[in-house]
């Protein structure tokens, strides 16, 4: 299985998906436009796809991995996840990102249960996008937490595809 996201000529996530998005591409200071993700070579037997977008470079800054986007139950025949799919929605379910936790305590589901783009505070960060091919559709409700996803998905994973996406500070 393969995934890709278009990057700038300098090798970074384009500005509109992160820290340097325009005001109309943000809600309450959070970049909300999710990038297009192309998907190919999904294995036979896949019942659904799921994704996580995590920032492991946030650990030295805040002490934990920052969750930018959780989404599950995409159709297995998906060739691409379109730009802004997180805000537009569709036939998939989205979980809570790190802004929903006690540290930030963001109560707005437009931003705490959807994509919030990279905003590296200290230096350029690498964001890990993982696409999961799953044997079953997961029984998740909108606003699920990452630990719920991990527990349900652990026995359902056929394969994964990972992509590191750099974003500038």
pLDDT tens digit sequence for 150-159 = 999 999 999 9
pLDDT at 41: 98
State the pTM of this model: 0.97
pLDDT at 24: 96
pLDDT at 101: 86
pLDDT at 60: 95
pLDDT tens track for 22-71: 999 999 999 999 999 999 999 999 999 999 999 999 999 999 999 999 99
pLDDT at 16: 97
pLDDT at 168: 96
Burial annotation 142-169 (CB, 10 A radius, 16+ → b, else e): eebebebbeebbeebebebbebebbbbe
Domains of the chain, earliest start first: 2-167 (3.90.280.10)
pLDDT tens track for 96-152: 999 998 889 999 999 999 999 999 999 999 999 999 999 999 999 999 999 999 999
CA torsion sign for 58, 19, 52, 71 is positive
pLDDT at 74: 98
């Amino acid at each position: 299985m393969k995934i890709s996201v278009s990057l700038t000529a300098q090798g970074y996530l384009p500005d509109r998906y992160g820290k340097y998005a325009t005001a109309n591409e943000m809600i309450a200071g959070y970049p909300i436009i999710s990038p297009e993700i192309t998907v190919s070579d999904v294995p036979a037997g896949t019942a659904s796809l799921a994704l996580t977008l995590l920032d492991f470079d946030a650990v030295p800054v805040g002490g934990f991995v920052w969750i930018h986007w959780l989404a599950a139950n995409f159709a297995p025949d998906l060739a691409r996840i379109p730009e802004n799919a997180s805000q537009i929605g569709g036939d998939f379910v989205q979980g809570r990102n790190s802004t929903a936790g006690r540290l930030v305590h963001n109560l707005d589901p437009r931003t705490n249960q959807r994509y919030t783009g990279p905003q590296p505070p200290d230096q350029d960060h690498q964001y890990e996008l993982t696409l999961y091919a799953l044997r079953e559709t997961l029984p998740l409700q909108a606003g699920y937490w990452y630990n719920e996803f991990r527990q349900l998905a652990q026995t359902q994973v056929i394969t994964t595809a990972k992509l590191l996406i750099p974003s500038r500070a």
